[in-house]
Amino acid sequence: MNESAQDTNGTAPTGTEVEPRPVVQQLSAFDFLLREDDAASDSGERAVYAARPSAFDFSDRPEQVKPRATPLEWIALALAVLVPPLGLVLSIIAGFVSRAKRGWTTWVVRTATVLGVILTIAVIVGGVVLDAIGRSEAAEAKIVADSAPFCASLDTTPGILEAPAFGWPTEPTTIDETVVAMKAYQLRWKELADIAPAGISSGTRSIAFAAQSLVTAVESTKVIDRTGNLSHMKAITAAAGIPAWVARYCG
């Protein structure tokens, strides 16, 4: 009866060991973090959380596949240097092919494209410059050819360009003799004007025209103003530009 009464009252019977119930401690999230930090501090290591991996951790990333250039791409690179326009076109084609098959392009294609663009522009600019130089040289050669008859005719009268007003008569002779000399001068420059190249044709004709005007004036008045006539013809011949032309195209 005593044993039953003890059981009823919740008292353990005599001679029986009662295991203590484990005490469950409720931990907040903050307590959990503190405990984790304490554990890390005890071990001397900093906790690394899987939820925030390092941006420099490549351990779980696949090895990057190194792109390999195709023969077409290497050919495009070579042509970009040797024949830039053709290399540029080929590099563009190779780039489309590479993107269609791989999804990206190699450094060979990119280099070929850049070189192709730069060198193609250089070729175009160089071609324009060379063309301009060639046209200029061709025009120069044509002027020399056109000036050849005029130069040859001048050579038949040595020193004509060094004489005052290109050989205008200045000797004090009779009026009739002076008129004859003036007519010879006018005829000579008219002949030269007929074969003068376009660049000095107008200047040469102005000499012949001025001489004819003075001949007409002297014949009508029978008066010769030698100083005035010489000054007038010097101004006309100086404006003709013949000596500079001869020095450049009659060498």
82 located within any domain: yes
1 located within any domain: no
213 located within any domain: yes
Please indicate, yes or no, whether residues 164 and 115 belong to a single structural domain of this protein: no
Please indicate, yes or no, whether residues 166 and 122 belong to a single structural domain of this protein: no
Tokens for 64? 């990057």
- Give the other-Cβ count within 10 Å of 201's Cβ: 15
Please indicate, yes or no, whether residues 174 and 123 belong to a single structural domain of this protein: no
Supply the pLDDT for residue 26.
56
How far apart are alpha carbons 75 and 86 in whole angstroms?
Answer: 10
Please indicate, yes or no, whether residues 182 and 234 belong to a single structural domain of this protein: yes
pLDDT along the chain (251 residues), means of 10: 45 51 50 42 42 42 60 89 91 87 85 93 94 94 93 91 91 87 94 93 95 93 90 94 93 77
Tokens for 225? 């103003």
- Torsional sign, CA 222, 227, 232, 233: positive
Structural domains of the chain, count: 2
141 located within any domain: no
Please indicate, yes or no, whether residues 122 and 188 belong to a single structural domain of this protein: no
Supply the pLDDT for residue 25.
54
Supply the pLDDT for residue 249.
92
Please indicate, yes or no, whether residues 122 and 187 belong to a single structural domain of this protein: no
Please indicate, yes or no, whether residues 185 and 233 belong to a single structural domain of this protein: yes
Counting beta carbons within 10 angstroms of the beta carbon of residue 85, is it exposed (0 to 12), middle (13 to 18) or buried (19 or more)? middle
How far apart are alpha carbons 184 and 180 in whole angstroms?
Answer: 6
Supply the pLDDT for residue 106.
85
Q: Which positions ≥6 away from 133 have C-beta within 8 Å?
A: none
Q: Residue holding tokens 């930090």?
A: 37
Three-state secondary structure call for residue 197? coil
Please indicate, yes or no, whether residues 171 and 220 belong to a single structural domain of this protein: yes
146 located within any domain: no
The predicted-structure confidence for 29-84, as pLDDT tens digits, reads as follows 434 433 444 444 444 444 443 444 443 443 444 445 556 788 888 998 999 899 99
Counting beta carbons within 10 angstroms of the beta carbon of residue 89, is it exposed (0 to 12), middle (13 to 18) or buried (19 or more)? middle
Three-state secondary structure call for residue 133? helix
This prediction has a pTM of 0.56
109 located within any domain: yes
Counting beta carbons within 10 angstroms of the beta carbon of residue 21, is it exposed (0 to 12), middle (13 to 18) or buried (19 or more)? exposed
Counting beta carbons within 10 angstroms of the beta carbon of residue 214, is it exposed (0 to 12), middle (13 to 18) or buried (19 or more)? buried
Supply the pLDDT for residue 118.
95
Contact 211, 237 (CB under 8 A): no
First to last CA, the chain: 154
Q: Residue holding tokens 């005890």?
A: 42
Domain extent for 187: 157-249
